[in-house]
Structure 1
Amino acid sequence: MSSSAFTFPGQGSQAVGMGKDLAAAFPEARAVFEEVDDALGASLSTIMFEGPEDELRLTEHAQPALMAVSVAVVRVLDAHGIALRDHAKYVAGHSLGEYSALCAAGTFSLADAARLLRTRGQAMQKAVPVGHGAMAALLGLDLATARAVAAEAGQGEVCEVANDNAPGQVVVSGATGAVERALELAKAQGAKRALLLPVSAPFHCSLMQPAAEAMQAALAEVDMQAPVVPVVSNVLAAPISDPAEIRQRLVEQVTGVVRWTESVTWLTSEGGVTNLVELGSGKVLTGLAKRIAPEASGRALGTPADIEAFVAETKA
């Protein structure tokens, strides 16, 4: 039985040029990008390959783009005889990466995943007027201290923990004024650094409730299969496979905390995972994994060279 989990990156891992080398090297990757463009009725691949960066960074583009690169890697591995169901015990994804994980594991079709993520990106952007919400990383504080800082910073406005990314790396989200107060309070509590993040909306807090409702409606319309391996849900930090529960948890995920530290801890303790393999753009999750579970081996598969080395080792 495999002792690997495949993980899928979230927003912030996008970069102009993403997927271009995969498309040049592998027909399976090209086919994924063409299918996503067709599903969206727009050339997302052009924005991915050529930019401009401000277009790619738009949530409605970044989310399906990151999913497309992740699924392209999955399809290339599959074509090389490395099927997800045989080589991963679990899948997990950071925020939008949960959709990538579910698409990779067969819960959503590629076209549906692309359309869902565009809808999610648009709904999350629309939920709060630009400038009225913010997110900040509090570095060097534990989760309990970050929660206390967020609560104190609120003063009648929303300020909540949004992401528990790794020990000492907690993100808060909410109304701009409250998040700015949290920066000062975090420094007073001994944070090494506290900085605003370059995001366009306050994700993963209760201000996102309109987006959660939009996703509930969108997910209700989509055909979903049980994933071929369980997905470790962001909001539970535990594995699920039932499509009805997956649908419910994806709705909760819009306003809920991304429990990434706990998810990776579950995989490497309860789940018996010793290898964490990040599929897609960038290496953010591989860096976080080193801090959460230093005993596990971690690697990122995002370039043709990464994939070729992984295929050679896996088949050796």
Structure 2
Amino acid sequence: MKRAFVFPGQGSQTVGMGKELSDAFTVAKEVFQEVDDALGQNLTKLMTEGPIEELTLTENTQPALMATSVAVARVLEKEGGKKLADMAEFVAGHSLGEYSALTAAGSLQLADTARLLKARGLAMQKAVPVGVGAMAALLGMDIKPVEDLVAEAASTSENDEICVVANDNADGQVVLSGHKGAVERVIELAKEKGVRKAMMLPVSAPFHCPLMQPAADEMKAQLAKVTIAPPAVPLVANVTADQVSDPETIRNLLVEQVTGRVRWRESVLYMGQQEIESLVELGTGKVLSAMVRRINKAMTGSALQGPSDIEAFLNSL
């Protein structure tokens, strides 16, 4: 079976994440310790004990989710006696999960990634004053009608406020981002068009839209400081929904990703076109694996979070 390893993004964090892994596997504990050392912070304690309010701060969430995902990948390699390239044809990650994917595939070093994500979280938080931006999810409406609504709202706006599609997650699941007023206008239009559900999201900043340009500039400077190697298997990139292995292209795409659309639905469709039959989600939660069949009914999804999941997966190889 041809499979890809995929890595979750923000929103999958939970108190207790990674604890089972750390208790069961020395290699997982080593991952968490290396991240703690790189950040000069006891992130592991925060992940294990909370409070959730502090764990949910973007600057903490991003390296925590990455550490858990990479821990699963390292355990798979150690316990299975196989390299990642022996188990997967591609890697892909949702937003910050792209950093997890690249680290698991050996393109980025773990300590570098931890520091990059700490910087990324802080930069994204600072890019837009609280209350200026917003994000919203539209459920039950596909990408083309949403793009039409965004264009309609922009054409009738009397100011320069922006609203764009931030995430094309799956059929019937699209996320908007931009100025709060502009996002609210698109939501009202969507309700008039009969959208099944439209809701503002409890986020601290409007991610993946042009308002994040200051954060993109910061990440360009931060990424220039680190070495990026060709990944063990190609990355299917968020902003292109296409495979990439060239280090400098990866570096540029990670900068673009801060302001660009997460083309997750297209990425999954692309992997299906490359004869991938299964997406295996590594880390916390089951968000990506749960969306698989909504995008491609011929593809299966599964999630590896704890020792029992990992054992079952390795036994299936």
Deviation of 1:294 after TM superposition, in Å, equals 1.6
Q: Is the 8 A contact 1:153 1:179 kept in 2?
A: no
CA displacement, residues 160-205 of structure 1 (integer Å, 9 cap, x when unaligned)? 0000000010000001111112211111112100001111100000
Aligned to 2:33: 34
Aligned to 1:286: 289
CA displacement, residues 117-167 of structure 1 (integer Å, 9 cap, x when unaligned)? 111111011000111111000111111111122233342201000000000
Of residues 199, 214, 218 in structure 1, which corresponds to 2:222? 218
Is the counterpart of residue 13 in structure 1 residue 12 in structure 2? yes
Number of residue pairs aligned between Structure 1 and Structure 2:
312
Taking every aligned residue pair, what percent have the same amino acid on both sides? 61
Indicate the SS of the match to 1:148: helix
Q: Is the 8 A contact 1:140 1:190 kept in 2?
A: no
Q: Is the 8 A contact 1:13 1:282 kept in 2?
A: yes
1:95-134 equivalence runs, <5 A: 95-134=95-134
Tell me how far apart the structure 2 counterparts of residues 164 and 54 of structure 1 sit (CA, whole Å).
27
Q: Is the 8 A contact 1:8 1:280 kept in 2?
A: yes
Of residues 293, 302, 305 in structure 2, which corresponds to 1:302? 305
Q: Which amino acid aligns with 2:87?
A: H
Aligned to 1:50: 49
Q: Which runs of 5+ in 2 are unaligned?
A: none
Indicate the SS of the match to 1:171: strand
Q: Which runs of 5+ in 1 are unaligned?
A: none
Aligned to 2:78: 79
Aligned to 2:136: 136
Tell me how far apart the structure 2 counterparts of residues 306 and 186 of structure 1 sit (CA, whole Å).
40
Of residues 235, 239, 243 in structure 1, which corresponds to 2:243? 239
Q: CA RMSD in A?
A: 0.9
Aligned to 1:193: 197
* TM-score after normalising by structure 1: 0.97
Indicate the SS of the match to 2:199: strand
